[in-house]
Amino acid sequence: MRKKIVAGNWKMNTTVPEGVELAKAVKEKSAAVPAGIGLIVAVPFTHIVPVSEVLKGSRVGLSAENCADKEKGAYTGEVSVDMLVSAGCNYTILGHSERRQYYGETDEKLVAKTRLALDAGLGVILCVGENLSQREAGNHFKVVTEQIENVLFNFTAEDLSKIIVAYEPVWAIGTGKTATSDQAEEIHACIRKVIAGKFGEKAADDVTILYGGSCKPANAKELFACPDIDGGLIGGAALKADDFIQIALSY
């Protein structure tokens, strides 16, 4: 059975004290969310240690937003998977479109990062998604299929059980423009089909596929009602504990 998950991606927002307060509020309000729905917050590196203290013993999982593609050593400014685990992380986001777009994240680097993360015991939230020109050219299925093939096809079905996929159409991120539930569902179904072709029906049926891109309390219910949408990766709306929890209550 695949898990339903609502994850917040705080991106480069909040100071440490603000982040600690937000985490406290999410933890407190998480009691209202049915136990079958997983909750995760992905926070900046500086926030991981204090937020892990806040979330200790709670149901809210803790994720990083990225990790290094090397194990350790002379890589100034990078943060390794072992550092993340020792700081209290359970997951890391990888391949977010903002990293692909602004920081040269390639599928090749994502394979290395995913291998390191899984070997260190971190779950991976792997993001895929097309940009506006790719969608307008009608290439969205092709782009997303290739992203899945280029990264996930390097792993085993067992690895896949520790990977959450997030479909985030770049044109819907932070723009207020949400994909319609039909647009999101058809890509989610495509991702599941591509995964089934490589790893089998069971693995495809078990993989959690989140939607991300201007998901908010007003549209979460319709998106989450789609058969292949298993939750959300929430940006802006995750910065308010009430909105984040409201989205999780939309199931």
User: 209-211 and 4-9 as β-strands: parallel, antiparallel, unpaired?
Assistant: unpaired
The residue type of 162 is K
Q: How far is CA 214 from the centre of its chain?
A: 14
- Which of 19, 95, 169, 212 forms a contact with ligand 13P (CB under 6 A)? 212
Smallest gap from Cβ 72 to ligand 13P, in A, equals 27
d(CA 89, CA 64): 7
Which residues are catalytically annotated? 96, 168
- Which of 151, 235, 241, 248 forms a contact with ligand 13P (CB under 6 A)? 235
Nearer CB in complex with ligand 13P: 199/243 = 243
Smallest gap from Cβ 183 to ligand 13P, in A, equals 15
DSSP letter at 225? T
Nearer CB in complex with ligand 13P: 9/114 = 9
CB neighbours of 47 closer than 8 A, spacing ≥ 6? 10, 14, 16, 19, 20, 23
The residue type of 241 is A
- Which of 5, 9, 37, 246 forms a contact with ligand 13P (CB under 6 A)? 9
- Which of 233, 245, 247, 248 forms a contact with ligand 13P (CB under 6 A)? 233
Q: Contact 39/26 with Cβ under 8 angstroms? A: yes
236 binds ligand 13P (CB under 6 A): yes
Residues 58-117 within binding reach of ligand 13P (CB under 6 A): 96
- Which of 33, 51, 68, 234 forms a contact with ligand 13P (CB under 6 A)? 234
Smallest gap from Cβ 165 to ligand 13P, in A, equals 13
Q: Which residues sit opposite 231 in a β-bridge?
A: 5
d(CA 93, CA 100): 12
Q: Which residues sit opposite 220 in a β-bridge?
A: none
Nearer CB in complex with ligand 13P: 64/237 = 237
Distances 74 to 69, 71, 77 between C-alpha atoms, Å: 12, 10, 9
Q: Which of 175, 16, 197, 183 is nearest to 97 (CA)?
A: 175
Nearer CB in complex with ligand 13P: 4/199 = 4
d(CA 6, CA 249): 10
Nearer CB in complex with ligand 13P: 125/195 = 125
215 binds ligand 13P (CB under 6 A): yes
Smallest gap from Cβ 241 to ligand 13P, in A, equals 15
Q: Contact 214/243 with Cβ under 8 angstroms? A: no
- Which of 66, 114, 147, 214 forms a contact with ligand 13P (CB under 6 A)? 214
213 binds ligand 13P (CB under 6 A): yes
197 binds ligand 13P (CB under 6 A): no
Nearer CB in complex with ligand 13P: 19/235 = 235
DSSP letter at 227? T
Contact footprint for ligand 13P (CB under 6 A):
9, 96, 168, 173-174, 212-215, 233-237
